[in-house]
Amino acid sequence: MNALLESLEPQTIWSYFLALSKIPRGSKNEAEAAAWVADQAKALGCEVERDEVGNVIIRKRATAGKEGRPTVCLQAHVDMVCEQNEGTGHDFLKDPIQVWKDGDLLRAKGTTLGADNGIGVAAALAVLASQDIAHGPIEVLITIDEETGLTGANGLQPAKLKAKFLLNLDSEEEGYLTIGCAGGVDTIASRKLTRVAPPAGSRAYRLKVFGLKGGHSGIDINAGRGNAIRLLAQVLGFLKPEFGLSLASIKGGNKRNAIPREASAMIFMDPSREQAFREALALHEAHWRAALGAFDPGLHLALEAGEAAQPMSGTDADALIQLLLALPHGVEAMSPDIKGLVQTSTNLGVIETREDVVEVNLLTRSSIDASKAALSDRIAATCALAGFDSQTSGGYPGWKPEPEASLVRIVNDANQAVFGKPLEIMAIHAGLECGLIGEKYAGMEMVSFGPSMWDVHTPDEHVSVPSVGNFWKLLVAVLETV
């Protein structure tokens, strides 16, 4: 047993989590990790099935005398968001996550930790391994590609599960029980580019925005954090005409469901104006730092040497900058029914420039389908006005809260029995797989809970070790009660 594992409780969960952390499992690259989960379940004597899209479905027999209990499904996703700080040099296709303990917290060195949703997967495996829990029949559903398209949940066939109750293990705040979530839809805006020669005597530079917190585009969208893509567009919008800049490319963000922390533009400029540009850049940095304030104090703007490239035409550059300034980002509307809950939002998540095309990716969320559709239509209209084509994809439904469902009472009562207090019942503005699963299994009751973790989808992701212990106690209590 390694020293890190010796310092962690409950060790069964952490043993599985640390083993899983050694396997690359970015979204759409999680096949090896899913196979590992299946192998662990087979070694424990469970029935294991892989469905058509790659989900792992596991069944464990009830404890003797509990065969008549309702079947409970434990559900988590095996993939993780792959984000790293610039200069970390981590290869998410082959390198293990470097996990370390910081007091009562677990973190990763320069990358996302993968506690979202590796802790849920590890907890499900720990239940399968346990000989001490008196439970009814158990199913485990480990889905693939949750983070970039909900592919696993979307491809799940209606006849695969038999459970009456589903416990989604993908929540991120101890003491809360999630009973509803937002739906979402992706938009990709694109424009063909015309390339031109660099201005005579100009030099290539790279303009960078970095140091922002980023965050989960659902959970953190109302936290006042900066969007690196939008900030870069603001700066370019001011400085391009003043300094006669030519724009070759913009790149920013990595995932449509993560608020972009970093963005950069390849530009051409008269080198005799470099010092004046740096002075103007410093003023913009001070301006936007003041605007963001304590919400996101780490903003930096920088100019460095660029690489040889062909600029896009001035018409294309102006259209792109104007589109980035016009597209929505952030909260569109708050819920009138649930205090503090974001109802509708958009995340301006990713921009990528290739040789002949530029693409911008947005994720729109709402708990109201009509609001989601209306905002998606407005984005499409904005793209058309800027001369961009747009396509929507990946739409998924929300999960309607059912506060009077029997499973809500069962889990709440279990928490009261274990910790002497009720859970806070809530809905969230993030997407959970419960919406898609519930659409396929209309009679299935569902809730979601988990340990406390913060800054998921960013390299600052960290999880509370004691909270994982409490999460385990509640999970065991629910399985022994239901």
CATH of the domain at 344: 3.30.70.360
Degrees to nearest 5, angle at CA 233 with 229 and 234: 115
Whether the Cβ atoms of residue 208 and residue 262 lie closer than 8 Å to each other: yes
pLDDT band per the 50, 70, 90 thresholds, residue 255: confident
The partner residues of 106 in beta bridges, in order of sequence, read 101, 463
List, in order, residues 6 or more apart from 405 with CB less than 8 Å away: 179, 445, 447
Whether the Cβ atoms of residue 105 and residue 62 lie closer than 8 Å to each other: no
- Clarify whether residues 345 and 218 are in a common domain: yes
- Judge whether 146 counts as a catalytic residue: yes
Here the tokens at position 52 are 């058509």
Q: At what angle do helices 228-243 and 314-326 cross, to 10 degrees?
A: 140
Active-site residue, from 30, 83, 139, 146: 146
| Distance in angstroms (rounded) separating the CA atoms of residues 151 and 55 | 9
List, in order, residues 6 or more apart from 11 with CB less than 8 Å away: 5
pLDDT score of 86: 84
**What is the average per-residue pLDDT within 143-163?**
94
pLDDT score of 395: 84
List, in order, residues 6 or more apart from 286 with CB less than 8 Å away: none
Span 204-225, pLDDT tens digits: 999 999 999 999 899 899 999 9
In this predicted structure, the answer to whether residue 428 has a pLDDT above a threshold of 80 is yes
In this predicted structure, the answer to whether residue 450 has a pLDDT above a threshold of 90 is yes
| Distance in angstroms (rounded) separating the CA atoms of residues 138 and 221 | 36
**What is the average per-residue pLDDT within 136-147?**
97
Residue 293, CA distances (Å) to 230, 262, 279, 301 in order: 16, 18, 21, 15
Q: What is the DSSP letter of 132?
A: S
> 178-182, 316-320, 358-362 — which is least confidently predicted?
178-182
Say how far residue 463 (Cα) sits from the centre of its chain. Answer: 15
Whether the Cβ atoms of residue 391 and residue 188 lie closer than 8 Å to each other: yes
| Distance in angstroms (rounded) separating the CA atoms of residues 132 and 479 | 11
Whether the Cβ atoms of residue 140 and residue 41 lie closer than 8 Å to each other: yes
- Clarify whether residues 232 and 341 are in a common domain: yes
Residue with tokens 């952490």: 14
- Give the pTM: 0.78
**By percentage, how much of the chain surpasses pLDDT 70?**
100
| Distance in angstroms (rounded) separating the CA atoms of residues 218 and 121 | 22
pLDDT band per the 50, 70, 90 thresholds, residue 1: low
Whether the Cβ atoms of residue 245 and residue 269 lie closer than 8 Å to each other: yes
pLDDT band per the 50, 70, 90 thresholds, residue 194: very high
- Clarify whether residues 281 and 388 are in a common domain: yes
- Clarify whether residues 205 and 322 are in a common domain: yes
pLDDT band per the 50, 70, 90 thresholds, residue 148: confident
Whether the Cβ atoms of residue 465 and residue 119 lie closer than 8 Å to each other: no
- Clarify whether residues 247 and 370 are in a common domain: yes
Domain of 84 in residue numbering reads as 3-182+398-481
Whether the Cβ atoms of residue 198 and residue 268 lie closer than 8 Å to each other: yes
Cis peptide before 117 (omega within 30 of 0): yes
Please spell the DSSP secondary structure of 199-256, one letter per residue. Answer: PTT-EEEEEEEE----EETTTTTTS----HHHHHHHHHHHHHHHHT-EEEEEEE-S-T
**SS3 letters across 440-471:** HCCCCEEEECCCCEECCCCCCCEEEHHHHHHH
Whether the Cβ atoms of residue 463 and residue 115 lie closer than 8 Å to each other: yes
| Distance in angstroms (rounded) separating the CA atoms of residues 72 and 432 | 18
Q: Are strands 389-396 and 105-108 parallel, antiparallel or unpaired?
A: unpaired
- Which of 396, 422, 444 is the last residue before a domain boundary? 396
Helix, strand, coil abundance in the chain, percent, nearest 5: 30, 30, 40
- Which of 345, 373, 396 is the last residue before a domain boundary? 396
Q: What is the mean pLDDT of the chain?
A: 96
**What is the average per-residue pLDDT within 302-315?**
95
pLDDT score of 416: 98
**What is the average per-residue pLDDT within 429-453?**
94
- Clarify whether residues 440 and 367 are in a common domain: no
> 49-58, 389-398, 448-457 — which is least confidently predicted?
389-398
**What is the average per-residue pLDDT within 396-407?**
90
**What is the average per-residue pLDDT within 192-203?**
97
Q: How many domains does the chain have?
A: 2
CATH code, 52: 3.40.630.10
H/E element, 47: strand 47-50
Here the tokens at position 391 are 């396509």
- Clarify whether residues 391 and 464 are in a common domain: no
| Distance in angstroms (rounded) separating the CA atoms of residues 101 and 99 | 7
The partner residues of 167 in beta bridges, in order of sequence, read 74, 447
- Clarify whether residues 195 and 329 are in a common domain: yes
- Clarify whether residues 134 and 262 are in a common domain: no
**What is the average per-residue pLDDT within 392-403?**
88
- Which of 396, 428, 462 is the last residue before a domain boundary? 396
Active-site residue, from 79, 83, 173, 296: 79
The terminus-to-terminus CA distance of the chain in angstroms comes to: 34
**What is the average per-residue pLDDT within 303-318?**
96
pLDDT score of 468: 98
Q: Are strands 138-143 and 72-77 parallel, antiparallel or unpaired?
A: parallel
- Clarify whether residues 206 and 341 are in a common domain: yes
In this predicted structure, the answer to whether residue 16 has a pLDDT above a threshold of 90 is yes
**What is the average per-residue pLDDT within 339-347?**
93
pLDDT score of 2: 83
- Clarify whether residues 210 and 272 are in a common domain: yes
- Clarify whether residues 450 and 378 are in a common domain: no
List, in order, residues 6 or more apart from 289 with CB less than 8 Å away: 297, 299
